[in-house]
Structure 1
Amino acid sequence: MFSPATTGFAKSKKDGLMSNYTKVKAAYVMDAKSGQTLYENKADKTLPIASLSKMMTLYLTTEAINQHKLHWSDKVAVDKNLIKMSKNYGLGTFKIKRSKQYTVKQLYQAALIASSNSAAIALGNAVAGGSNAKFIAMMNKQAKDWGIAAHFISSSGLDNTDLKHYGYRLPNTSASAQNMVSAKAISVVAQHLVAAFPQISKWSSKATYDLDGQTLVNANALVKDGTYYRASNHLTGLKTGYTETAGLCLTVTYWRNGRELIATILGSDTTFTAMNGLITHLDKTLLNKTVKQSNKTYRVKNQKVTAAPTETTTKIWYRKGQDASKIKVSNQLTATKLPIQKGSQVTTTSFENTGLPATTNLGETATKTVKKQSAQQSNTGGTNWFGHFFKQVGHFFSHLF
């Protein structure tokens, strides 16, 4: 399950006594901006993720708001089945009143902080025009577009054994079907969520939050005032999850050396101590260096393309023991055809000699549009050149006779 060479870091006896961060079904840690992988343990294995699924629902809701298809103040009707679901204490602590409509903002807060399943499903319905099936299709399309290992049958993270009682079992799915997502994939969802809504931490960092006469209680015991809170973690959220089949699941955002990191643990018996242990372990085994990048010029189809880096100043994480002087940024040209539009990505960036996976989300983008050569331009040095040559020859001989 845990190999220093491929899926994590060497575990010392002291680390083993300190925590059980390796005794999980899967784990993954990444730099939220660069996408650099800092730690992985069975990170690509698809597993049940319970309410971590809500991060995809919140992302799609955020995108609908950013695109002005929804507004924070819009009122959302909650159907009677979701109201009934909210009364089941085992499926959520936020009780939805039958006579009340809730705003998108209120449902968002309830889904994020109190992990309300009814609120998450209601948000999905609002985004997809009242269709749960359409919203699930949107979740899966987004996962496919990002190229991540994820398959959703639920906007809340509940599996069909619960959803069937409330009319929300997705057609043509098995009686026990559930969301199956890898630790890396759900971390990527979190990455997109915090990029789309950086202010999410103002809610996800709250241990409790008063909403409509109720107190939302955050199950994340790592936030301030939580049982496992550590100020040194600089943790800002993000989402917990639990079902009997998924076990305890957790994705957090926290800051190190001016960088936001995202860490996910799936299937742990002691998620909070495991996460604290994992964060401590990385603090002890990783270093970082600041690297500056500038514009570069490439040639595509014999045309010059000037490209600007995603980050002019970035941090590269590396394992202790690596020679920092040998760590470098490499950019591989991926654009092969013209025209190239201004702002389009023309290279992919990798971090070499770090002792960690080299791939990143970074790249370089074109600073201006570069069009195809015209037919006349492409003939320069060809037919036009020969015509010019023979014209000059004729002119020479005309002066001899």
Structure 2
Amino acid sequence: MRKRNGYRISAVVLSILLFFGLFSPGALKADAAFDVNAGAAILVDGETGQILFEKNSNQQLGVASMSKMMTEYLLLEAVKKGKVSLDDTYQVSEYVYQVSQDRSLSNVPLRADETYQIRELYEAMTIYSANAATIAIAEKIAGSEAEFVKLMNKKAKELGMEKAKFVNATGLNNKDLKGHHTTGGPTEENTMTARDVATLAYRLVNDYPEVLETAGIPKKKFREGTDDEIAMENWNWMLPSLVFEYEGMTGLKTGTTDFAGYCFTGTAERDGQKLIGIVMDATDDKGEGTYNARFTEMKKLMDYGFTQFERKEIAAAGSTVKGAETVPVQKGKEKEVKLETASDLSVLVPKASNTKYKTDITLNSSDLDKNNELVAPVKKGKVVGFVEVQDEKGEAVPFLKAGGQTKVQTAENVEKANWFVLSMRAVGGGIANGWHWLIDTITGWF
């Protein structure tokens, strides 16, 4: 992650009068009274990872089958790297067979020693939350579920999921794994914070957007036309044609266990605006957890995002932030390099309000020397930090750590000066201005 204790340029310029208001400290908030009935919740901009609402978002809770988003991520990553193909086949192990026969769990029954295509197991997992199919995928990728869990926890750290803990591939309670659990105690299950879940969902749909092509399927038949045909209805009842149909709903994953309660990660898009919402341990107005409650509360969350916010552009890609136009360069032909924004800078803001905003640039301390300078050679387009948007009080607009804050990059190349120029500069350091002029002139020759 970017470190902020390095070279920090406070660019309080670019104070643009924008017509929007302020969230609670550190966040943009359209309605201070807004709330959802859930143990924890979060709403983020699906494009940038900007946080629009959060409740108990750092509290570690059960996530149940929302865990399968990590299994999806690792599978799609393996496919991208060529390690696995969706056309590959898998032969059912005794463990997978036993779990698949338990219809009290979400499952498509699998035949012992039968061969299945990874694609159909992936669809069963993503549409129907099939648990045995998920374990099968874990075995295909890592050889065993225990080894796959190691990959899950390793990837969680890579993605910046600070408190995530995986003990199995499915999100089931370990006691439901027919005595095959190898990580954690028999009653343990996976836990995450709402921010962790949001981070996973954000990276999944941005790194592998094709997941929504499958997660957005309302109904499909497993092994259609065979004796093993079974109807799969997506557990995300907010998809088109299902009971809680919601305009623009595209995914993503539900989860339910006694430990976790009723959970849901929803993704939706309207008029080009993408939102990711998470509710964990959702309840109704009476405080009771139900299947319906998670969809009712998700509707509240999505409606809030779509109706209360609008996107405002602050700076276009390639813009120079006034007051932070350059950064010093050591050992270069030039003594500094110009900086520019790598992409458009925009945030979602509450409608019909009026607040002044400013920018702040934070450079990556890992790219700087002990004098807080870049060291030549420096290539054009090198990302050296990011732009942060702040309110009048200096509070930053919050983003997921995995989010897409606008990056700052170098606008030109700076070649390394040769030994003669560097030597002359060293000599010139203690001599009069006329000598400085001579050194700079000679530098230009080389």
Q: TM-score range by the shorter chain?
A: 0.7 to 0.9
| Cα shift at 1:61 | 0.8
**Corresponding position: 1:186 with 2:197:** yes
Matches of 2:275 and 2:404, distance apart in 1: 14
Q: Check whether the contact 1:82–1:166 (CA below 8 A) recurs between aligned residues.
A: no
| Cα shift at 1:159 | 1.9
| Cα shift at 1:40 | 0.7
Q: Check whether the contact 1:47–1:182 (CA below 8 A) recurs between aligned residues.
A: yes
Identify which range, 64-73 or 279-288, moves more after superposition: 279-288
- Name the count of aligned residue pairs: 373
1:7-64, CA deviations, whole angstroms, 9 ceiling, x for partnerless residues? 876455xx6xxxxx52201111112231111111111111100000000111011111
Matches of 1:170 and 1:372, distance apart in 2: 55
Structure 1 residues 343 and 206, CA gap change in structure 2 (3 angstroms): same
The alignment's TM-score, normalised by the length of structure 2, stands at 0.75
Matches of 2:223 and 2:145, distance apart in 1: 26
Structure 1 residues 224 and 358, CA gap change in structure 2 (3 angstroms): same
Q: Check whether the contact 1:301–1:336 (CA below 8 A) recurs between aligned residues.
A: no
Identify which range, 202-211 or 376-385, moves more after superposition: 376-385
> What is the identity, as a one-letter code, of the residue corresponding to 1:136?
V
**Corresponding position: 1:380 with 2:424:** yes
**Corresponding position: 1:319 with 2:350:** yes
Aligned to 1:249: 263
Unpaired segments ≥5 residues, structure 2: 1-22, 225-229, 283-288, 370-374, 439-446
Matches of 1:345 and 1:30, distance apart in 2: 24
Aligned to 2:217: 206
**Corresponding position: 1:142 with 2:155:** yes
Q: 2:317 aligns with which of 293, 299, 313?
A: 293
% same residue: 25
Structure 1 residues 370 and 63, CA gap change in structure 2 (3 angstroms): farther
Identify which range, 63-72 or 281-290, moves more after superposition: 281-290
Identify which range, 99-108 or 368-377, moves more after superposition: 368-377
Aligned to 1:217: 233
Aligned to 1:357: 397
| Cα shift at 1:131 | 2.5
Matches of 2:159 and 2:413, distance apart in 1: 25
SS at match of 1:350: strand
> What is the identity, as a one-letter code, of the residue corresponding to 1:294?
G
1:308-331, CA deviations, whole angstroms, 9 ceiling, x for partnerless residues? 5453x354112346425x234543
Q: CA RMSD in A?
A: 3.0
Matches of 1:67 and 1:369, distance apart in 2: 32
Q: Check whether the contact 1:222–1:229 (CA below 8 A) recurs between aligned residues.
A: yes
| Cα shift at 1:257 | 4.2
Matches of 2:103 and 2:415, distance apart in 1: 61
Q: Check whether the contact 1:62–1:196 (CA below 8 A) recurs between aligned residues.
A: no
Matches of 2:249 and 2:127, distance apart in 1: 15
Structure 1 residues 329 and 322, CA gap change in structure 2 (3 angstroms): farther
Matches of 2:100 and 2:191, distance apart in 1: 24
> What is the identity, as a one-letter code, of the residue corresponding to 1:348?
F
Aligned to 2:19: none
Matches of 1:66 and 1:342, distance apart in 2: 29
Structure 1 residues 370 and 322, CA gap change in structure 2 (3 angstroms): farther
Matches of 1:155 and 1:342, distance apart in 2: 43
Alignment of 1:53-64 (within 5 A): 53-64=67-78
| Cα shift at 1:271 | 0.2
1:155-189, CA deviations, whole angstroms, 9 ceiling, x for partnerless residues? 111121212x141x124x22222111011111111
| Cα shift at 1:108 | 1.2
Alignment of 1:1-400 (within 5 A): 10=31, 12=33, 22-128=36-142, 130-148=143-161, 149-163=163-177, 165-167=178-180, 169-171=181-183, 173-213=184-224, 214-231=230-247, 234-268=248-282, 269=289, 270-291=293-314, 292-296=316-320, 298-302=326-330, 304-306=336-338, 309-311=341-343, 313-320=344-351, 322-323=353-354, 326-334=356-364, 335-337=367-369, 338=375, 344-353=382-391, 357-359=397-399, 360-362=403-405, 363-366=407-410, 374-383=418-427
Matches of 1:377 and 1:45, distance apart in 2: 57
Unpaired segments ≥5 residues, structure 1: 16-20, 393-401
Name the one with the larger helix percent.
Answer: 1
